[in-house]
Amino acid sequence: MDVPSQIRVLLADDHAVVRAGICQFLEQAEDITVVAEASDGQEAKDLIDRHQPDVAVLDIQMPKASGIDVTRWIRDHHQEVGVLILTAYDDIPYVTAVIQAGADGYVLKTASPQEIISAVKDVHAGNSAVDKEIIQKMVSQISTGVNEQPVQKLSGRELEVLTLVAEGYTNKAIGLQLGISDRTVQGHLAHIFSKLHSSSRTEAVMRAVALDWLPSDLGKI
C-alpha cells in the first residue's frame, strides 16, 4: 500500500493546551504531520525558516508578533508556504487584515476537527479555505461599502478566470481549463486585483460576489 505524501504543518498558538489539542487531531489524518510548534510569533518565524513547512497554522493574537505580522513575513520570505489562520476571533477587521496580508484561509476554533483538517488540505492544494459564516459577514460588509471605491468592470476572460478561482482552481489548472499559460493567468489576476481594489484571490472573489458578478455559492473559497 502506498503511503500518502505528508503535508508538513507548523502550528503556532500561545496556549499550550490548545496547541496540544489541535496537534492531536491534525495528526489523526494520515497525510498530515505537525513538524513544529511555536508559542509566539517570533518563534513561528524562526521555526518556519528552519523547517520549511507546507502549511503554517497560526493564531491571530500571539506575543512578539501577531498572526497578521507572521503572515506578512511569510509572504515576503516564504511565498510557497500556505497560511491558515485558526482563531477564536470572527471580527471582520481581523479577517480583512489577515486576508489582505496574504492568508489563504481563515477558520474559527469552533470548527470541527474534520473541518480544520479539510482547511489544511485545501490550503496545501492552493485553494482558499474560509469559514462560511465569515464569508457571509465579509460579503455583507463589502456590499455596504462597495460604492466607496469605484471598480472597473471585468472583461469576459477576467470573469472566467475569477469564476475558476472561486471554484478552487489553481493558476495552472485555470490555464489548462482556458487553454492559456500560467503567466497569462497571473496577468489576468493582476488586472482583476487592480480593478477590484483587492490584494488577494479571496478578497477579489468576495468583492465580485458583493457586486453580484459571481453567485454567492463560492465553492472552495
Domain positions in the chain are 7-130, 139-210
* pLDDT tens for the 221 residues of the chain, in order: 455 689 999 999 999 999 999 999 998 898 999 999 999 999 999 999 999 999 999 999 999 999 999 999 999 999 899 999 998 888 877 887 888 888 888 899 988 999 999 999 989 988 778 877 777 777 666 655 555 567 889 999 999 999 988 887 888 889 999 999 989 999 999 999 999 888 778 778 878 887 888 876 655 55
CA distance 85 to 88: 10
Give pTM, 2 decimals.
0.73
Question: Which numeric CATH code is attached to 7-130?
Answer: 3.40.50.2300
Sheet architecture: strand order including 82-87: 32-38, 7-12, 55-58, 82-87, 105-108, 129-130
Angle (CA) 207-208-212 rounded to 5° is: 120
Same fold, 7-130 and 139-210: no
The Cα 101–Cα 91 span in angstroms is 16
CATH topology of domain 139-210: Arc Repressor Mutant, subunit A (1.10.10)
